[in-house]
Structure 1
Protein backbone atom coordinates (compact mmCIF):
# COMPACT_ATOMS: atom_id res chain seq x y z
CA UNK A 1 0.00 0.00 0.00
CA UNK A 2 1.24 3.45 -0.90
CA UNK A 3 1.54 6.70 0.98
CA UNK A 4 -0.50 8.99 -1.28
CA UNK A 5 -4.08 9.60 -0.20
CA UNK A 6 -5.83 8.15 -3.21
CA UNK A 7 -9.20 9.35 -2.00
CA UNK A 8 -8.06 12.81 -3.14
CA UNK A 9 -8.35 11.73 -6.79
CA UNK A 10 -10.72 14.06 -8.62
CA UNK A 11 -10.17 16.96 -6.22
CA UNK A 12 -10.30 20.44 -7.76
CA UNK A 13 -9.40 23.48 -5.72
CA UNK A 14 -11.54 26.57 -5.75
CA UNK A 15 -10.00 29.31 -7.92
CA UNK A 16 -7.36 31.26 -6.01
CA UNK A 17 -6.61 34.77 -7.26
CA UNK A 18 -2.98 35.81 -7.60
CA UNK A 19 -1.69 39.13 -8.89
CA UNK A 20 1.35 38.73 -11.13
CA UNK A 21 4.07 41.03 -9.79
CA UNK A 22 6.56 42.72 -12.12
CA UNK A 23 9.50 42.36 -9.73
CA UNK A 24 8.82 38.66 -9.18
CA UNK A 25 8.63 38.05 -12.94
CA UNK A 26 11.92 39.90 -13.52
CA UNK A 27 13.62 38.04 -10.65
CA UNK A 28 12.43 34.67 -11.96
CA UNK A 29 13.64 35.52 -15.47
CA UNK A 30 17.06 36.45 -14.13
CA UNK A 31 17.21 33.33 -11.96
CA UNK A 32 16.58 30.99 -14.89
CA UNK A 33 18.99 32.88 -17.15
CA UNK A 34 16.33 34.38 -19.42
CA UNK A 35 17.95 37.35 -21.19
CA UNK A 36 15.09 38.62 -23.36
CA UNK A 37 14.31 42.07 -21.89
CA UNK A 38 10.53 41.67 -22.38
CA UNK A 39 10.67 39.53 -19.23
CA UNK A 40 12.40 42.14 -17.06
CA UNK A 41 12.16 45.62 -18.59
CA UNK A 42 8.74 47.23 -18.88
CA UNK A 43 9.89 49.64 -21.61
CA UNK A 44 11.24 46.77 -23.73
CA UNK A 45 8.04 44.81 -23.16
CA UNK A 46 5.87 47.76 -24.21
CA UNK A 47 8.09 48.42 -27.24
CA UNK A 48 7.38 44.80 -28.24
CA UNK A 49 3.63 45.46 -28.00
CA UNK A 50 2.98 43.98 -24.54
CA UNK A 51 1.11 45.80 -21.76
CA UNK A 52 3.84 44.96 -19.20
CA UNK A 53 6.66 42.48 -18.68
CA UNK A 54 5.73 39.01 -19.87
CA UNK A 55 6.27 36.00 -17.63
CA UNK A 56 8.69 33.36 -18.93
CA UNK A 57 7.17 30.08 -20.06
CA UNK A 58 7.78 28.20 -16.80
CA UNK A 59 6.54 31.01 -14.53
CA UNK A 60 3.29 29.15 -13.72
CA UNK A 61 5.30 27.12 -11.17
CA UNK A 62 5.78 30.36 -9.20
CA UNK A 63 2.06 31.11 -9.43
CA UNK A 64 1.32 27.59 -8.18
CA UNK A 65 3.45 28.14 -5.07
CA UNK A 66 1.88 31.56 -4.46
CA UNK A 67 -1.61 30.05 -4.79
CA UNK A 68 -0.73 27.30 -2.30
CA UNK A 69 0.30 29.90 0.26
CA UNK A 70 -2.71 32.14 -0.42
CA UNK A 71 -5.04 29.15 -0.23
CA UNK A 72 -3.53 27.99 3.07
CA UNK A 73 -4.23 31.44 4.54
CA UNK A 74 -7.88 30.87 3.57
CA UNK A 75 -7.96 27.39 5.09
CA UNK A 76 -7.52 25.48 1.81
CA UNK A 77 -5.08 22.63 2.29
CA UNK A 78 -2.10 22.79 -0.10
CA UNK A 79 -2.20 20.11 -2.78
CA UNK A 80 0.89 18.32 -1.43
CA UNK A 81 -0.79 18.06 1.96
CA UNK A 82 -4.09 16.99 0.41
CA UNK A 83 -2.46 14.07 -1.44
CA UNK A 84 -0.33 13.22 1.62
CA UNK A 85 3.03 13.73 -0.10
CA UNK A 86 5.89 12.47 2.04
CA UNK A 87 8.89 14.72 1.33
CA UNK A 88 11.30 12.09 2.67
CA UNK A 89 10.62 9.81 -0.32
CA UNK A 90 9.17 12.27 -2.86
CA UNK A 91 10.71 12.60 -6.31
CA UNK A 92 9.82 14.95 -9.12
CA UNK A 93 8.76 13.16 -12.30
CA UNK A 94 7.66 14.70 -15.55
CA UNK A 95 6.38 18.23 -15.99
CA UNK A 96 4.68 19.61 -19.10
CA UNK A 97 3.03 22.90 -20.01
CA UNK A 98 0.31 23.73 -22.50
CA UNK A 99 0.32 27.40 -23.43
CA UNK A 100 -2.81 29.23 -24.50
CA UNK A 101 -1.82 32.85 -23.90
CA UNK A 102 0.86 35.04 -22.33
CA UNK A 103 0.90 36.01 -18.67
CA UNK A 104 1.73 39.65 -17.94
CA UNK A 105 2.75 41.52 -14.80
CA UNK A 106 -0.10 43.47 -13.26
CA UNK A 107 -2.75 40.90 -14.14
CA UNK A 108 -4.80 39.06 -11.59
CA UNK A 109 -5.18 35.42 -12.57
CA UNK A 110 -6.95 32.44 -11.04
CA UNK A 111 -5.07 29.27 -10.16
CA UNK A 112 -7.01 25.99 -10.08
CA UNK A 113 -5.25 22.83 -8.89
CA UNK A 114 -6.45 19.31 -9.64
CA UNK A 115 -5.58 15.78 -8.60
CA UNK A 116 -5.98 13.82 -11.83
CA UNK A 117 -5.16 10.37 -10.46
CA UNK A 118 -2.58 7.89 -9.22
CA UNK A 119 -0.68 5.00 -10.75
CA UNK A 120 1.90 2.47 -9.60
CA UNK A 121 5.14 1.45 -11.31
CA UNK A 122 8.12 -0.86 -10.94
CA UNK A 123 6.08 -3.63 -9.36
CA UNK A 124 4.87 -1.41 -6.54
CA UNK A 125 8.23 0.21 -5.78
CA UNK A 126 6.91 3.55 -7.01
CA UNK A 127 3.59 5.34 -6.77
CA UNK A 128 2.85 8.32 -8.94
CA UNK A 129 0.49 11.24 -8.36
CA UNK A 130 -0.71 13.01 -11.51
CA UNK A 131 -1.42 16.68 -10.81
CA UNK A 132 -2.62 19.58 -12.93
CA UNK A 133 -2.63 23.34 -12.43
CA UNK A 134 -4.51 25.81 -14.62
CA UNK A 135 -3.79 29.54 -14.88
CA UNK A 136 -6.94 31.34 -15.95
CA UNK A 137 -7.51 35.01 -16.80
CA UNK A 138 -11.02 36.43 -16.22
CA UNK A 139 -11.23 37.88 -19.76
CA UNK A 140 -8.76 35.82 -21.82
CA UNK A 141 -9.60 32.40 -20.38
CA UNK A 142 -7.04 29.65 -19.83
CA UNK A 143 -3.48 30.91 -20.24
CA UNK A 144 -1.53 27.83 -19.20
CA UNK A 145 -2.06 24.28 -17.98
CA UNK A 146 0.84 22.63 -16.16
CA UNK A 147 0.87 18.90 -15.56
CA UNK A 148 3.33 17.20 -13.26
CA UNK A 149 3.94 13.80 -11.80
CA UNK A 150 5.21 13.36 -8.27
CA UNK A 151 6.65 10.03 -7.25
CA UNK A 152 6.99 8.25 -3.94
CA UNK A 153 9.84 5.76 -3.87
CA UNK A 154 8.42 2.99 -1.70
CA UNK A 155 11.13 0.35 -2.01
CA UNK A 156 10.40 -3.27 -2.60
CA UNK A 157 8.81 -4.26 -5.88
CA UNK A 158 10.53 -5.86 -8.83
Structure 2
Protein backbone atom coordinates (compact mmCIF):
# COMPACT_ATOMS: atom_id res chain seq x y z
CA UNK A 1 0.00 0.00 0.00
CA UNK A 2 1.44 3.35 -1.06
CA UNK A 3 1.46 6.70 0.65
CA UNK A 4 0.34 8.98 -2.19
CA UNK A 5 -3.37 9.71 -2.46
CA UNK A 6 -3.94 8.18 -5.86
CA UNK A 7 -7.49 9.50 -5.96
CA UNK A 8 -5.89 12.91 -6.60
CA UNK A 9 -4.94 11.82 -10.16
CA UNK A 10 -6.47 14.32 -12.55
CA UNK A 11 -6.46 17.17 -10.02
CA UNK A 12 -5.87 20.58 -11.60
CA UNK A 13 -5.30 23.72 -9.57
CA UNK A 14 -7.13 26.89 -10.45
CA UNK A 15 -4.87 29.35 -12.33
CA UNK A 16 -2.64 31.40 -10.03
CA UNK A 17 -1.45 34.78 -11.32
CA UNK A 18 2.23 35.62 -10.90
CA UNK A 19 3.76 38.96 -11.88
CA UNK A 20 7.26 38.63 -13.32
CA UNK A 21 9.33 41.41 -11.79
CA UNK A 22 12.39 42.90 -13.48
CA UNK A 23 14.48 43.04 -10.30
CA UNK A 24 13.74 39.42 -9.46
CA UNK A 25 14.67 38.29 -12.98
CA UNK A 26 17.93 40.28 -12.91
CA UNK A 27 18.80 38.96 -9.43
CA UNK A 28 18.11 35.38 -10.52
CA UNK A 29 20.23 35.82 -13.65
CA UNK A 30 23.11 37.16 -11.57
CA UNK A 31 22.72 34.35 -9.02
CA UNK A 32 23.01 31.62 -11.64
CA UNK A 33 25.93 33.35 -13.37
CA UNK A 34 24.00 34.35 -16.50
CA UNK A 35 26.02 37.11 -18.17
CA UNK A 36 23.88 37.90 -21.22
CA UNK A 37 22.63 41.46 -20.56
CA UNK A 38 19.16 40.73 -22.01
CA UNK A 39 18.45 39.01 -18.68
CA UNK A 40 19.42 41.95 -16.49
CA UNK A 41 19.45 45.20 -18.48
CA UNK A 42 16.18 46.53 -19.93
CA UNK A 43 17.97 48.67 -22.52
CA UNK A 44 20.02 45.72 -23.76
CA UNK A 45 16.88 43.58 -23.91
CA UNK A 46 15.01 46.25 -25.91
CA UNK A 47 17.99 46.67 -28.25
CA UNK A 48 17.73 42.91 -28.89
CA UNK A 49 14.05 43.32 -29.80
CA UNK A 50 12.48 42.26 -26.50
CA UNK A 51 9.85 44.29 -24.59
CA UNK A 52 11.83 44.04 -21.32
CA UNK A 53 14.42 41.78 -19.66
CA UNK A 54 13.91 38.15 -20.59
CA UNK A 55 13.83 35.51 -17.88
CA UNK A 56 16.54 32.83 -18.15
CA UNK A 57 15.22 29.42 -19.18
CA UNK A 58 15.50 28.11 -15.60
CA UNK A 59 13.32 30.93 -14.21
CA UNK A 60 10.08 28.86 -14.26
CA UNK A 61 11.21 27.28 -10.97
CA UNK A 62 11.00 30.76 -9.38
CA UNK A 63 7.54 31.28 -10.89
CA UNK A 64 6.45 27.90 -9.49
CA UNK A 65 7.59 28.92 -5.99
CA UNK A 66 5.81 32.28 -6.29
CA UNK A 67 2.60 30.50 -7.34
CA UNK A 68 2.89 28.15 -4.36
CA UNK A 69 3.24 31.14 -2.01
CA UNK A 70 0.23 32.85 -3.60
CA UNK A 71 -1.80 29.64 -3.26
CA UNK A 72 -0.86 29.51 0.41
CA UNK A 73 -1.97 33.12 0.89
CA UNK A 74 -5.32 32.20 -0.65
CA UNK A 75 -5.61 29.18 1.68
CA UNK A 76 -5.48 26.77 -1.24
CA UNK A 77 -3.83 23.38 -0.61
CA UNK A 78 -0.33 22.92 -1.97
CA UNK A 79 0.12 20.18 -4.54
CA UNK A 80 2.21 18.18 -2.05
CA UNK A 81 -0.77 18.26 0.31
CA UNK A 82 -3.17 17.25 -2.45
CA UNK A 83 -1.15 14.13 -3.26
CA UNK A 84 -0.41 13.48 0.45
CA UNK A 85 3.37 13.48 -0.01
CA UNK A 86 5.28 12.33 3.07
CA UNK A 87 8.51 14.33 3.28
CA UNK A 88 10.18 11.58 5.34
CA UNK A 89 10.20 9.29 2.29
CA UNK A 90 10.09 11.75 -0.59
CA UNK A 91 12.72 11.81 -3.33
CA UNK A 92 12.97 13.98 -6.42
CA UNK A 93 12.91 12.08 -9.70
CA UNK A 94 12.97 13.20 -13.31
CA UNK A 95 12.25 16.79 -14.25
CA UNK A 96 12.01 18.29 -17.72
CA UNK A 97 10.79 21.46 -19.35
CA UNK A 98 9.18 22.21 -22.69
CA UNK A 99 9.63 25.83 -23.75
CA UNK A 100 7.06 27.37 -26.05
CA UNK A 101 7.81 31.08 -25.64
CA UNK A 102 9.92 33.55 -23.64
CA UNK A 103 8.95 35.04 -20.31
CA UNK A 104 9.58 38.75 -19.84
CA UNK A 105 9.66 41.14 -16.89
CA UNK A 106 6.29 42.83 -16.65
CA UNK A 107 4.39 39.71 -17.71
CA UNK A 108 1.51 38.50 -15.59
CA UNK A 109 1.47 34.76 -16.13
CA UNK A 110 -0.89 32.07 -14.92
CA UNK A 111 0.38 28.91 -13.28
CA UNK A 112 -1.70 25.74 -13.38
CA UNK A 113 -0.53 22.62 -11.54
CA UNK A 114 -1.77 19.15 -12.41
CA UNK A 115 -1.51 15.65 -10.98
CA UNK A 116 -1.04 13.58 -14.14
CA UNK A 117 -1.05 10.19 -12.41
CA UNK A 118 0.88 7.64 -10.42
CA UNK A 119 2.99 4.56 -11.10
CA UNK A 120 5.07 2.00 -9.24
CA UNK A 121 8.64 0.81 -9.75
CA UNK A 122 11.17 -1.63 -8.30
CA UNK A 123 8.54 -4.27 -7.62
CA UNK A 124 6.44 -1.90 -5.54
CA UNK A 125 9.34 -0.49 -3.49
CA UNK A 126 8.89 2.91 -5.13
CA UNK A 127 5.75 4.85 -5.95
CA UNK A 128 5.93 7.77 -8.33
CA UNK A 129 3.71 10.84 -8.62
CA UNK A 130 3.74 12.43 -12.08
CA UNK A 131 3.15 16.19 -11.82
CA UNK A 132 2.92 18.99 -14.36
CA UNK A 133 3.08 22.76 -14.15
CA UNK A 134 2.00 24.99 -17.01
CA UNK A 135 2.94 28.66 -17.24
CA UNK A 136 0.81 30.57 -19.69
CA UNK A 137 0.36 34.15 -20.76
CA UNK A 138 -3.12 35.47 -21.61
CA UNK A 139 -1.96 36.84 -24.97
CA UNK A 140 0.93 34.54 -25.94
CA UNK A 141 -0.46 31.21 -24.71
CA UNK A 142 1.56 28.46 -23.08
CA UNK A 143 5.13 29.55 -22.37
CA UNK A 144 6.51 26.60 -20.40
CA UNK A 145 5.36 23.16 -19.34
CA UNK A 146 7.38 21.51 -16.57
CA UNK A 147 7.00 17.85 -15.73
CA UNK A 148 8.45 16.27 -12.63
CA UNK A 149 8.28 13.02 -10.78
CA UNK A 150 8.23 12.76 -7.01
CA UNK A 151 9.04 9.38 -5.47
CA UNK A 152 8.19 7.72 -2.19
CA UNK A 153 10.63 5.00 -1.15
CA UNK A 154 8.43 2.33 0.40
CA UNK A 155 10.79 -0.54 1.03
Q: TM-score, normalised by structure 1?
A: 0.94
Counterpart of 1:142? 142
5+ residue gaps, structure 1, are none
Counterpart of 2:83? 83
Deviation per CA, 1:5-53: give whole Å up to 9, x if none. Answer: 1111000001110000111111221222222111111111111111111
Runs of 4+ aligned structure 1 residues displaced above 3 Å come to none
5+ residue gaps, structure 2, are none
More displaced stretch, 82-91 vs 99-108: 82-91
1:89: how far off? 1.5
Q: TM-score, normalised by structure 2?
A: 0.96
1:139: how far off? 0.6
Q: C-alpha root-mean-square deviation of aligned residues, in Å?
A: 1.0
Matched positions, count = 155
Aligned residue for 1:64, secondary structure, equals helix
Alpha-carbon distance between aligned partners in 1 of 2:62 and 2:80, rounded to the nearest angstrom: 15
How do residues 3-152 of structure 1 correspond to structure 2 at under 5 angstroms?
3-152=3-152
